[in-house]
Structure 1
C-alpha cells in the first residue's frame, strides 16, 4: 500500500514540479554528454597534430564538481516540498502510518522522480554529446562525423553519481522528517523563511546602508580603473579595492532585499492613486509577501544569476583570448630559448651552435623550411647582474633589455613575412611587445633617445620602434623590449643568450613534438654542452625546471595545449553558467508556482469580484515578470559594472588577442544563451501558473 502511495505521489510531483523535473533531465543530459568524452569507448578522430586527452581529463573531473552544485537545487526543492506537504505527512501519521515509514515514502517518491529523469536525461545526453564532439572538431578544423552511441561505462557513472546524490539528500530528509513533531508539521506552512519583525527605522537604516554599500562598490571600481593608469599605485591597493568592491556588492544585495519589502509598502502607501488602480493592490500584496518571506533567497538568486552571467561571458572571452594569444606567443614552428638567468658566472654563458639541430630537423619527415639562430647581447657587462636577488640568483625582479644584431632581426622579420628594416650610421631602433601602449613606448624612447655602447654613442632611428609580432620568448624575462643594433656594434658586446627559430615544411605530429621537447633536444644539449649542464643541471632539476637551456617550444604542442584549454573553458563555462542559471530560475519558478497552488482562493475571489480571465492573465504576467526581474535587475547591474571594468582594464589585450568584433560576438553569444534560457523558464512558469489557476478554479 505504502509503495503504491509513494508511486502515485511521484506522478503528482512530476506534474506539480514539472520545471524541476525538466531541469534535472537537462542537467543529467549535460553531465552524460560531457562525461561521455572520457569514455574508454569514445573515439575522437582528428589528425595526429592534435591530442585532446588533456581535454577529456579536464572535462571528466570538472564535470563532477560543476554537477555537484545540483545538490543545492535538489536539497532546496526537497526542503521546499517537505515544507509544503508537512500537513499531508501529518495526516498519514494521524491515520496510523509510522513516522519513519512516511519519511521513507517521501524518499522513494523523490528517488523515482530522479531515476526517471536519469533515463530521459541519458537519452537526450547522447544527442548532446554529438554537439560537444562537433564543437571540438570545428575548433580543430576537422570534418564533423556524427556517431550516435550509448557508452555503457558513462551510463553506469551517470547512474551512480546521481543516485548517490539523491540518496545522500534522501538520508538527510528521512532524519529530518523523523524528528519533527506532528503539531509542528501541521503549523509549519504558516512560518516564513525568517521572522523579520523590526521597527520601521531599522528597515530604513538597512536600506540606506545597502545604497551606501553599492556606492562604495562603485567607488572601488573607479579606483581600480584609476590605478591602471597610475603606476605609482601599488598592486596590493588594486587587489584590496577589488575585494572591497565584491564584498560590498554582496552585502549590499542582501541588505537591499532585506529592506525592499518595507520600502515597497512605503511607496504603495504614499502613491494612493496607483495602489487602488484596478488589481494593483492585489499585485503589490503578492510581491511584498514573497519578498518579505524570502529575502535571503531572493538575494542569493540574484548573486547566483550574476555568477551564471560571468561564467558564460568570461570563459568565452578567455577562451578566445587564449587562441588569439597563441599566434602572438609562438609565431614560429620551433623555438628553443636559451636563458642566462640560471647561470651565476658570466664566463659560463656558452656560445651555442644550432647547426646540428637544424640538420636533424631537415632530415625528419616534417623537414625544415627556414630557420634563424639569434644571438642576444648585454648592452653593458653589468647587465648580467641586474635584477638578481643576492640570496637567490634565480629570482628575477627587473631584468635588462637585451640587444640583437640588425641581420638577425631582419632574418626573423623575413621568416614571418615582414619587410626588412635599415639603420643609419650610429643608429639603433627598438622592438616592443604588441600589447604595449604607444604613449608608454614614446615616453620611454624620449627619455632614452641615445645610448652608449662601449664608448660609441648611438641615436634613435627615425623609425624608433616596431611592434610586429615576433614571439614572446625572444624578450628577456619581464621586459618586452629588444634593442636593435648594427651588426658591427654587437661584435664588441658580451653574449647573453642564443636562440633558435625555425619553420617546418609540414606539420609535425604531437608525438614528434613531445619527443623533441622532452628527449632529443635536452639530450643534445647535455651531450654538446655537458660542462654547463653538469654545473647548473642539478639546481635546475631541483626546482622542477627543464634542463638547461630553459624552454623548448613546439608550435604543434602549444597549439594542442591551447585548444585543450580553450575548449575546456568554453564547454565548462557554458555548463557552469547553465547549471547556475537553471538553479536560480528553477527556484524562482517554484516560488511563483507555489502561489498558483497554495493561494488559489485569492484568484477565485478576484473572479467573484468581476475580474475577467483576460485581466487575471495580465495580473499573472505582471506578478511573474516583477518577481523574475527584481533579483535579476541587481545581477545585471553587477554584470555591467564588471564588464565595463573588464573592457577598460584589458583594453589592449582585447584589441590584440580578441578583437572588437570577436569580443562583441562572444558577449552577444553569452547574453543570447542567457536570454534564451531565461525566456524558456519565464514562459514555462507563466503557462504552468495559468494552467494551475484554471484547473484549481474550475475544480
Structure 2
C-alpha cells in the first residue's frame, strides 16, 4: 500500500504525508475525523461550562474547596505520623475516622450538586439531541465536562490545600498544645490519596450522568426542567407519620433516664427525628398549607393569597433540600457546641481530678498495709532530686454504686442507671478526714459522720444493706475524687471510725456481686502533693517516679501529674474540637451550595410568575415583597426547626457529655447559645449573598 498523503481538516483537502505505518486513504481520513471530533467535544464542553457559569462556577468552587479540605486532613495525618508528634494512637485514629466521614460527606455534596447541574441542563442537552447528536456523542461531551471540572478542581484544590495545610497543621498543634516548627512539605502520599479518592468519585458521577442521558430521550430532556408543575397532593398519612415519628423521637430523648439509657436510645431518637424532618417537609408542610388555603379568613387576603399559593409549589420542589439543610444545620450546632465545650471545660476536669499538682495511689489489701512505705519512698525520691514535698494530703477510700430506696441505700453494680436513682457512696476513715479537714471527729464503731449531695434524706441513721450506723454529725465536703463521680450529682460520703469498717463495706460489695461483670471493688489510698524546687528538678523527680515507687510500693496504681493529664486531655479533646470544626465546615459548605442552587431554581421558576403577577395588576414592589416573604419563610424554616431539635436534644446531650468527663454543663449551655447565634448570622449571610443571584434572574 502507498502511504496516504490526503488529509481532511474540515475546511479543505490538503496534502500531508503520514508517518508511521502505511494506511489506506479511508483509514487515514477516519483517524483525522476522530481527532477532529475529540477536539470538537472538548471545545463544546468548555463552551458549555463557560456559558453556564452561573451553575458551574459554584460547582467548581465547591470541588476545589472539598478537595483542599480532604488534602489538608490527609497531609496533617501524614505529617504527624512522620514526625512522631502524636503520643498515642487516639489522635491518629480520630483523624482517620474523620477522613472517612469527609469522603462520605464530599461524595454526597458532589452528587447533589452534579444532579442539580444535570437537571438544569436537561433542556440544553435535549436540544443537542434534536439537532443530531447521538447519545454516545452526548456521553463523550459529558465525559469532557466531568474531566475538565475534575482537572480544575484537583489542581486548584491540591494547590490551595498545599499552601494552607502548613498553617492548619500549626493551628492543630496549637489546639492540642504540642509545640512544633514550621517546615513546608507536600506529602506525596496525601497527593496520591486525594487524586485517587476523587478520581473514583468523578468516575461515579460520570457513570451517573451517562446512565441518566442514555435512559432519556430528547423530548424528555427538553421538558426536564419543567417537570412537576402540577399542584402537589397533600399526603395526610405521611404527614401524620412524620408528626408521630417526631413526637416519638423527642420523647426518647427527653424521657431517657441516666447516661446508660441515653446512650441506648440516642441513636434511634436521632434516626426518628431525621425521618420525621423529611416527612414533615415533604408532606406535612404541604398538608398544613392546604389546610390554610381552605380557611377563607386566612387565604383570601392579598398577602396571604400569594404567599400560601406560592409556598405550596415551593415546598414541593424544595422539601428534600430544606429538610437536608435542617439536618445539616443541627449537625453543625451539635458538633461545634459539644466539641468546644469539651475543649474549654478541660481545666474544670483537671481541677477536680487534681487538688494538688501530683498524685499517686495504690491498693490496700488489709489494715496492716499503711501508707508509711509510700511516704518514705516519695521522701527518698524528693531528696535524690533536690525538691521538697509540700501541701500533701492523703486518704484511703472505697467507692461503691448504690441506689436509695425507702430510706436505705442498697449496693448496686449499675454505674450507668437512672441518674436520679444512682448514688455514689464513698467510705473514709475519721483519721484521714481529721487530718485533711482539720477536724476533731471521735466516732464509735456504730457511728458515722456524713456529707450528702443531691436528692437524699438520710435522717438520723445511715442504712447500707443490713448495716446501720447512727449519724453523729453532718460534715463538710472532703472533696474526694474518683473516676465515675461525674456520672451523677448524688453523692454520699460516710466517715467511719477506722479502716476495718471501710474494708468490711468493701467485702460486703464483693461478696454480693462476686459473679458480676462490673469488677472487684478495692480500698485505694490516694496521695496528692505539690513540689517545691526548680522546674528541672521537678521534671527529674516525676520522670523516674513510677520506676522508683514500683520497687517499694506493692500494688501501685497511679503515678500522675496535672501537667501530664493536661497534655493528654488537650490532645484528646483538642483533636475532637478540630474534627468538629472540620466537619462543620463541610456541613456549612453543603448548606451553602443547597441554598445557592435553590435560589437559582427559585429564580428561574419565579421569573414567569413575576411577570404574570405584574400583568394582572400588581405593582413591581408588591410582587417583590410577596416573593421576598415566601423566600424568607421557606429558607429560614429549616434554621428554626434545627434550633428546636437542638433544644429538645440538649438534656440528652448533657448526659452524654458527662460520660465524656464534662462536668461544667453551664459551659455547654453557653457554647450552645453562642453557636446557634453565630450559625444564624452565617446562615443569614449565606442567604443574603445567594439571594442576589435570585433577584438578578427574576428581574432580568
Fold conserved (TM > 0.5)? yes
How many residue pairs match? The answer is: 621
Residue of structure 2 in register with 1:261 after alignment: 286
CA distance in 2, matches of 1:431, 1:281: 69
Name stretches of at least 5 consecutive residues in structure 1 with no aligned partner: 229-233, 380-385, 390-396, 414-418, 533-547
* CA displacement, residues 360-381 of structure 1 (integer Å, 9 cap, x when unaligned): 64267694534858463789xx
Within 5 A, what are the aligned runs for 1:116-155? Answer: 116-121=152-157, 125=161, 126-127=163-164, 130=167, 133-134=170-171, 136-137=173-174, 140=177, 149=184, 151-153=186-188, 154=190
Relative distance call for 1:253 and 1:11 in structure 2 (3 A) is: same
Instruction: State whether residues 374 and 499 of structure 1, in contact with CA within 8 Å, keep that contact through their aligned partners in structure 2.
Output: yes
Q: Is 1:568 matched up with 2:575?
A: yes
Residue of structure 2 in register with 1:362 after alignment: 382
Residue of structure 2 in register with 1:16 after alignment: 55
Q: Is 1:306 matched up with 2:330?
A: yes
Shift of 1:251: 4.1
CA distance in 1, matches of 2:540, 2:315: 62
CA distance in 1, matches of 2:438, 2:51: 77
Relative distance call for 1:512 and 1:670 in structure 2 (3 A) is: farther
Higher Cα Rg: structure 1 or 2? 2
- Which among 128, 132, 156 is matched to residue 92 of structure 1? 128
With a CA cutoff of 8 Å and minimum separation of 6, indicate the structure with the bigger relative contact order.
1
CA distance in 1, matches of 2:310, 2:223: 21
Residue of structure 2 in register with 1:680 after alignment: 685
* CA displacement, residues 39-87 of structure 1 (integer Å, 9 cap, x when unaligned): 43899999xxx96985466335523423431211111111222222223
Within 5 A, what are the aligned runs for 1:410-449? Answer: 413=436, 420-424=438-442, 426=444, 437-440=453-456, 443-444=457-458, 446-448=460-462
Relative distance call for 1:32 and 1:240 in structure 2 (3 A) is: closer
* CA displacement, residues 306-363 of structure 1 (integer Å, 9 cap, x when unaligned): 22222222222233344422321233444333346xx8xx799898822564156426
Shift of 1:687: 0.5
CA distance in 2, matches of 1:106, 1:575: 32
Relative distance call for 1:26 and 1:615 in structure 2 (3 A) is: farther
Residue of structure 2 in register with 1:640 after alignment: 647
CA distance in 2, matches of 1:430, 1:287: 68
CA distance in 1, matches of 2:464, 2:285: 65
Shift of 1:628: 0.7
Residue of structure 1 in register with 2:66 after alignment: 27
Instruction: State whether residues 427 and 496 of structure 2, in contact with CA within 8 Å, keep that contact through their aligned partners in structure 1.
Output: no
Within 5 A, what are the aligned runs for 1:61-76? Answer: 61-76=97-112
Shift of 1:499: 4.2
Relative distance call for 1:467 and 1:598 in structure 2 (3 A) is: same
Within 5 A, what are the aligned runs for 1:660-679? Answer: 660=666, 662-679=667-684
CA distance in 1, matches of 2:172, 2:187: 23
Q: Is 1:207 matched up with 2:207?
A: no
Shift of 1:30: 3.8
Q: Is 1:658 matched up with 2:664?
A: yes
CA distance in 1, matches of 2:413, 2:659: 29
Name stretches of at least 5 consecutive residues in structure 2 with no aligned partner: 1-39, 400-410, 415-421, 507-521
* CA displacement, residues 624-673 of structure 1 (integer Å, 9 cap, x when unaligned): 212212233322221111125556x589999983263x344422432244
SS of 2:79's partner is coil
* CA displacement, residues 138-188 of structure 1 (integer Å, 9 cap, x when unaligned): 67498xx99695635455554444444333333333344334444443444
CA distance in 1, matches of 2:478, 2:371: 28
Shift of 1:678: 0.7
- Which among 350, 370, 373 is matched to residue 353 of structure 1? 373
CA distance in 2, matches of 1:146, 1:266: 64
Residue of structure 2 in register with 1:600 after alignment: 607
Relative distance call for 1:360 and 1:623 in structure 2 (3 A) is: farther
CA distance in 2, matches of 1:364, 1:62: 47
CA distance in 1, matches of 2:239, 2:299: 23
Relative distance call for 1:362 and 1:491 in structure 2 (3 A) is: same
- Which among 302, 318, 321 is matched to residue 277 of structure 1? 302
SS of 1:421's partner is coil
Relative distance call for 1:607 and 1:365 in structure 2 (3 A) is: farther
Relative distance call for 1:492 and 1:214 in structure 2 (3 A) is: closer
CA distance in 2, matches of 1:91, 1:117: 28
Residue of structure 2 in register with 1:383 after alignment: none
